[in-house]
Amino acid sequence: MKRIVVIALAALGFVVAATVGRYYLVGHGGGTSSSSSVSIGGPFQLVDHNGKAVTDEDFRGKYMLVYFGYTFCPDVCPTSLSIVAEALDQLSPEELDKIVPIFISVDPDRDTPESLADFVPHFHEKLVGLTGTPEQIKAVARAYRAFYAKVNEDDPDGNYLMDHSSITYLMGPDGKYAAHFSHGTPPAAMAKRLAEIL
């Protein structure tokens, strides 16, 4: 009984958080607003798909196109990363040079640097995969107001899915929020907006 109440409260908390997040991120500005009253992004300490420790400062001077997901994701992440890749392919070489696409895992228990190294090249040669400790992932997700939660944890085979928000964030060369793209933004629309900003 107690456990059910706890789960219900946790689920309610997630829904409230997701709703608030949706309001801030999607509820105003039409999905690509360049000004925001809420701060998105911030410092992070993670490890890249080559096993190298990185921080947000390593990306200064470049735009970061950031997406949160996990390599076991059956549909949403592959779709979103394919859209990012298609959009990047529509940029000029000069524009492409100014931007680093980044995939941050919300499943640090399974997404090692090695599994990210197998995953990211399927989408784009420039895509950087980042993972970290559960605490590091929690911190970066909180900074970006990205939401994630394990589902069907009771699978006897240990398989599980993750619920997660699906927003692509564009951060400026100074590390500050520049724009975001809601789930399902077509590649051409994303490329057009990127080219305007870059």
- Cβ nearer to Ni ion, comparing 131 with 178: 131
Determine, following the binding rule CB under 5 A, whether residue 130 of this chain makes contact with Ni ion: no
- In DSSP terms, 63 is beta-bridged to 99
- Candidates 21, 41, 69, 108; binder of Ni ion (CB under 5 A) is 69
Decide if 76 contacts 166 (C-beta within 8 A).
Answer: yes
Determine, following the binding rule CB under 5 A, whether residue 76 of this chain makes contact with Ni ion: yes
Query: Per CB under 5 A, which region of 50-58, 68-76, 120-128, 132-140 contacts Ni ion?
Result: 68-76
CA dist., res. 174 & res. 165, Å (int): 24
Determine, following the binding rule CB under 5 A, whether residue 141 of this chain makes contact with Ni ion: no
Determine, following the binding rule CB under 5 A, whether residue 161 of this chain makes contact with Ni ion: no
- Candidates 73, 167, 178, 179; binder of Ni ion (CB under 5 A) is 73
3-state secondary structure at position 90: coil
Decide if 86 contacts 184 (C-beta within 8 A).
Answer: no
Determine, following the binding rule CB under 5 A, whether residue 113 of this chain makes contact with Ni ion: no
3-state secondary structure at position 82: helix
Burial 96-107 (b: 16+ CB within 10 A, else e): beebbbbbbbbb
Give the torsion sign (CA, 111, 14, 46, 190). Answer: positive
Query: Per CB under 5 A, which region of 61-69, 95-103, 122-130, 181-189 contacts Ni ion?
Result: 61-69
What's the closest the beta carbon of residue 37 comes to Ni ion, in angstroms? Answer: 28
Determine, following the binding rule CB under 5 A, whether residue 21 of this chain makes contact with Ni ion: no
What's the closest the beta carbon of residue 106 comes to Ni ion, in angstroms? Answer: 8
Determine, following the binding rule CB under 5 A, whether residue 102 of this chain makes contact with Ni ion: no
Determine, following the binding rule CB under 5 A, whether residue 77 of this chain makes contact with Ni ion: yes
Determine, following the binding rule CB under 5 A, whether residue 149 of this chain makes contact with Ni ion: no
- 18 Cβ partners below 8 Å, 6+ apart? 147, 165
Angle between helices 187-197 and 76-89 (to 10 degrees): 50
What's the closest the beta carbon of residue 176 comes to Ni ion, in angstroms? Answer: 26
In the complex, which residues of this chain contact Ni ion (CB under 5 A)? 69, 73, 76-77
